[in-house]
Structure 1
Amino acid sequence: MVAMASSGVPSIPSSISPPPVTLPLKNIPGSHGLPLFGSIADRLDYFWFQGPDKFFRSRMEKNRSTVFRTNVPPSFPFILSDPKVTAVLDCKSFAHLFDMEVVEKKNVLVGDFMPSTSFTGNMRVCAYLDTSESQHSKIKNFTIDILRRSSKIWIPELESNLSTFWDGIESEIANNQKSSFRNLLQPALFNFFSKTLVGADTAKSPEVAKSAHIDVIIWLGLQLVPTIHLGIFQPLEEIFLHSFRLPFFPIAGRYRRLYDFIEKEGEEVVQRGVSEFGLKKDEAIHNLIFTLGFNAYGGFSLFLPVLMDRILNDRTGLQQRIVDEVRAKSGSGLTFESVKEMELVYSFVYETLRLDPPVPTQYARARKDFKLSSHDAVFDIKKGELLCGYQPLVMRDPNVFEEPEAFKPDRFREEKGAALLDYLFWSNGPQTGMASEHNKQCAAKDLVVLTAVVFVAYIFRRYDSIAGEGGSITTLQRPN
């Protein structure tokens, strides 16, 4: 485990700790360009001409540095957030984003852009609070408590929903020769997280069971589309989706229905937030919706299809290796204890998180002047500067990962692989860190990985192999 500072904040691993004196102090290369025109040019590159990966990679190569100045959208003319950032694209510089001694996280979940608080009950939920704000510790501890209590039913509820999910896939394949699976995955995920996190059974509300998983996707989209690269509707995408903050009113009625559902069916959890953690009732409910909808359901709706695609597209015999491990380790069923023994499956999940993190960009604002180090230089960061890390490049740092562009499902196995977990940052901190009220690390970090491992293990307890293409499953081979 990573060392813990006296405040309970995960310290930066020793190999990426504050810079040794031998590193040269350099000016940060790059530029924000001319006022207005520089941000517009970068915005068009990011969304239209290059896309995020090429945008950051080309500037890193041009500046010959993993630390440089640039602009990130959204920006002028109708969104007035400040696009100027200092990009940090190697593991050593990126780690500073999680050092709460030198950075803060107030209102920087998606950079300087922040959706209207009308989407969250006219309040700033925990994701937008800095650790220095009093409500942060209350809400974070409430979330940690929810996850601790839910662990008792986590795997049984997950298996129950996965059973329904795969029954549906089998039915679709029988009728249509293929299943796109995503339309079945989302309701299963929503049902699972509603029950485990909120204690609310969607079966008690037919309207919620039918459409809440769609409602949440719309709710998320209206908040985040101005920051997301779609790349399929240009120039309409730039004109209509990236130029304005989108309004709350189209989803207001459905959000209220979800609020009422959690207020009624999740009453026990809500009341615990009030009585044990000092939250107001509406504060507890809006934070539960955000945790359920944004962190859990939204994150897994992105990550599990990527995990599935990795399985379907593998041509190296990985499926058979996973089958062998899963069945050898889970003879008595899937439990916390049996799953922990599945070293290959864990490594496979970690490697997928390395190359395809559900949240590609992370931000932090300098709390004070400090010196930031990359592998080969030191840079002065001034108080108030916004730092931006693009994880798909950070996690390809050749100074840390051998063959960084290659997908290697065994990468995180054994002692050497375990050491690399210091540099797996998908959870707003290192995988070896510990979520607490003193930091912004994902409270469900370990449960996220375990859930993905159980997802994979369930598949290969049920099937000898699966096959598909183009995002669809076409063949499922049951054991003889």
Structure 2
Amino acid sequence: MANSSDSSASKLQLRDLPGDYGLPLFGAIKDRYDFHYNQGTDGFFRSRMQNYQSTVYRANVPPGPFNAPKSKAIVLVDAVSFTVLFDNSKVDKKNFFDGTFMPSTDFTGGYRLCPFLDTSEPKHATIKGFFLSTLAKLHNRFIPLFLSSMSELFTNLEHELSNKGEAYFNTISDNMTFDFIFRLLCENKSPSETSLGSDGPTFLNKWVFFQLAPLITLGLKYVPNFIEDLVLHTFPLPFCPLKSDYKKIFDAFYNSMGSILDEAEKIGVKRDEACHNFIFLAGFNSYGGNKVFFPALIKWVGAAGESLHRRLVDEIRTIVKEEGGVTLSALNKMSLTKSVVYETLRIEPPVPFQTAKAREDIVINSHDSSFLIKKDEIIFGYQPLATKDPKIFDNPEEFIGDRFMGDGEKLIEYVYWSNGKESDDPTVNDKQCPGKNLVVLLGRLLLVEFFLRYDTFDIEYGKLLLGSKVSFKSVTKATS
């Protein structure tokens, strides 16, 4: 039996796992309704944690019951137990990405792509290694390309504010993100120069939605819950309505990624398989992740108010002036800016769920107990509670911009948004997001460019199917 504890944790009492799965079929349906309608996602996990007085417990998780027995899971909601999901010697992630289910390979050209491969599968190291080497080769283009895309974002933001009195940030941000990632992978070609035109974000939004539908609650006012549940959560949504859209996405990338696909063939990866993998990296990981992350970043910074804005303005403008521009060296000196990005990823992680299967019998530890998980049992981590663990973070529900400055920097390891510790870097032997460092860099760049241009801003915000919706009400242009 493997043991995930260290010498001090080995003294913890071994407890029976609390919780149960209820009656066959009906228990899964009840928990699904609690998750989507009766309690909501956060309430679902929080109420069971409080009821069982444990941060490790049994529950049916979405989408069940069509996905049974994988919906019967052991749930982890604390920062200590959660890390077993990163230990690939103990857990198997074959066909797990964002939940307990895997969408049809029809959505990905008939291939099981890298995110759904376990680290034990030889092709995983080949493809992830290719992702990492490609991003390394492109690193000199990250900053200039993103700054170019940001320039258009500001133009659109100010235009909407002038014409409408408010600017809906999510759409502007989505367009900017897609433009950047397409240009990065496609030799600086604009998506408007391809058959996609301006439709790339729209096509990707539908493609992501159809794959994540079992986890999504629409909450439509005039649609009864049982109708929505029947349509979205009972059977996987079919690929056929998206076939034409996805072909346009594939053709645009395939015809524009010549040098990258040439390199893929040299390492033995078929050209079309490599393209589908990069579409997933671009469309799901990068575009889909930043679709949640960028509005969250603006929301939390906006809600923090002018005091934080002034501190960011002072840091950013002082260091950019000293360094002679927006450079990687300048960014690395901006400790408050970095901390704000980490705090956003902590309090509202773009990917809330992590799933795996135990390779063997393992003992995991929470802060105060140990638990036995049997071989082949499903382990399901709910990250927004794990990264708000009150035994790790003071005032965990509060956004504190300078949380990770000074002595607080040591807490960065407990930021888990990338399917790994923030203090670690992705390798071919793990499932950590290959673009993890790029996402953090882009978040910092977004703040830097914003506060070079504006002194402060006002927003309104609310909830979307995935993440937050943010509208600018005003911006105050820089006065110095």
Bin of the TM-score, shorter chain as denominator length? over 0.9
Partner of 1:381: 373
Report matched runs for 1:38-77 at 5 Å: 38-76=27-65
CA contact (8 A) 2:191 2:200 kept: no
Structure 1: distance between partners of 2:278 and 2:382: 28
Match of 2:182 in 1: 194
Aligned twin of 1:296: 286
Match among 343, 354, 357 for residue 349 of structure 2:
357
What is aligned with 1:238?
A: 229
Q: Indicate yes or no: 2:164 matched with 1:176.
A: yes
Unaligned stretches of 5+ residues in structure 1:
1-11
Question: Which shows bigger deviation, 57-66 or 261-270?
Answer: 261-270
Please state how far the C-alpha of 1:17 moved relative to its aligned partner.
Answer: 4.4
* Structure-2-length-normalised TM-score: 0.93
Could you say which residue in structure 2 is the equivalent of 1:123?
A: 111
Q: How far does residue 333 in structure 1 lie from its aligned partner after superposition? A: 1.6
- Tell me the secondary structure at the aligned position of residue 193 of structure 1: helix
Of 204, 218, 235, which residue of structure 2 is paired with 1:216? 204
Do the aligned partners of 1:69 and 1:87 also contact (CA within 8 Å) in 2? yes
1:253 is displaced (CA, Å) by 1.0
Structure 1 position 368, deviation (Å)? 1.1
Q: State whether residues 88 and 390 of structure 1, in contact with CA within 8 Å, keep that contact through their aligned partners in structure 2.
A: yes
Q: 1:198 to 1:288 in 2, by over 3 A?
A: farther
Residue aligning to 1:446: 437
1:476 matched to 2:466? The reply is: no
Output one character per residue of 1:292-334: Cα deviation in whole Å (capped at 9) or x when no partner. Answer: 0000000001110111111222236111110000001112221
- Pick one of 123, 127, 144 that aligns with 1:156: 144
Displacement of 1:173? 1.1
- Displacement, 1:204? 5.8
Residue by residue over 1:18-60, the C-alpha shift from the partner in whole angstroms, topping out at 9 and shown as x without a partner, is 7633211111111011111110110000001001100000000
SS of 1:87's equivalent in the other structure is strand
Aligned to 1:462: 453
Q: Does 1:426 align with 2:417?
A: yes
**TM-score, normalization by structure 1:** 0.93
Query: Does residue 1:100 correspond to 2:99, yes or no?
Result: no
- Any idea what SS the aligned residue of 1:162 has? helix
Q: Distance in 2 between matches of 1:33 and 1:96?
A: 26
- The number of aligned residues is 464
| Partner Cα separation in structure 2 for residue 264 and residue 350 of structure 1 | 36
- Relative distance call for 1:338 and 1:413 in structure 2 (3 A) is same
2 CA distance for matches of 1:29 and 1:476?
51
Checking the alignment, whether the CA contact within 8 Å between 1:89 and 1:389 is kept in structure 2 is yes
Name the amino acid aligned to 1:449: V
Q: Which position in structure 2 is the counterpart of 1:23? A: 12
How big is each residue's C-alpha offset from its partner over 1:409-456, in whole Å with a ceiling of 9 and x where there is no partner? 111001x21210121111101001121111001111111111101001
Q: Which residue of 1 aligns with 2:467?
A: none
1:271 corresponds to which residue? 262
2:477 aligned partner, one-letter code: R
Q: Aligned partners of 2:7 and 2:293: how far apart in 1?
A: 32
* Structure 2 CA distance for aligned equivalents of residues 135 and 85 of structure 1: 28
The 1:367/1:175 distance shift into structure 2, 3 A limit, reads: same
Establish whether residue 341 from structure 1 lines up as the match of residue 297 from structure 2: no
- Once residues 8 and 91 of structure 2 are traced to their aligned partners in structure 1, the CA distance between those partners, rounded to angstroms, is 17
Moved more, 109-118 or 285-294: 109-118
What is the CA-CA distance between 1:74 and the residue it aligns to?
0.9
Describe the SS at the equivalent of 1:317.
helix
| Superposition RMSD in Å | 1.7
| Structure 1 CA distance for aligned equivalents of residues 120 and 159 of structure 2 | 51
| Conserved? CA contact 2:300–2:399, under 8 Å | no
State which of 287, 304, 318 in structure 1 corresponds to 2:277: 287
Counterpart CA distance in 1 for 2:420 and 2:49 is 23
- Deviation for aligned residue 1:380: 0.9
Question: Counterpart of 2:363 in 1: which secondary structure?
Answer: strand
Aligned to 2:79: 91
Q: Which one is further off, 341-350 or 17-26?
A: 17-26
Name stretches of at least 5 consecutive residues in structure 2 with no aligned partner. Answer: 462-469
Query: Which secondary structure does the structure 2 equivalent of 1:85 belong to?
Result: strand
Q: Give distance in 2, aligned partners of 1:62 and 1:197.
A: 48
Q: Secondary structure at the match of 2:80?
A: helix
Q: Distance in 2 between matches of 1:109 and 1:205?
A: 32
- The amino acid across from 2:425 in the alignment is M
* Letter paired with 1:68: Y
What amino acid is aligned across from residue 90 of structure 1 in structure 2?
Answer: D
CA offsets, 1:170-200, max 9 Å, x none? 1111111111122222121101001113436
Q: Distance in 2 between matches of 1:85 and 1:430?
A: 23
CA contact (8 A) 2:194 2:252 kept: no
Sort the Cα spacing of 1:37 and 1:134 in 2 relative to 1 into closer, same or farther, 3 A.
same
Q: Partner of 2:197: helix, strand, or coil?
A: helix
* Range with bigger deviation, 155-164 or 179-188: 179-188
Contact 2:191 2:198 in 1 (8 A): no
Task: Give the AA of the match of 1:474.
Answer: K
**CA-to-aligned-CA distance 1:60-89 (integer Å, 9 cap, x gap):** 01111100000011123x555631000011
Aligned match of 2:240 = 249
Counterpart for residue 405 of structure 1: 397
Q: Is the 8 A contact 2:70 2:378 kept in 1?
A: no
Q: Once structures 1 and 2 are overlaid, which stretch shifts more, 391-400 or 229-238?
A: 229-238
CA distance in structure 2 between the aligned counterparts of 1:367 and 1:216, rounded to whole angstroms: 34
Larger displacement relative to structure 2 (464-473 or 26-35)? 464-473
- Residues of 1 paired with 2:188 and 2:210: CA distance? 25
Post-superposition, which runs of at least 4 consecutive aligned residues in structure 1 deviate over 4 A?
16-19, 78-81
Aligned mate of 1:82, from 51, 70, 78: 70
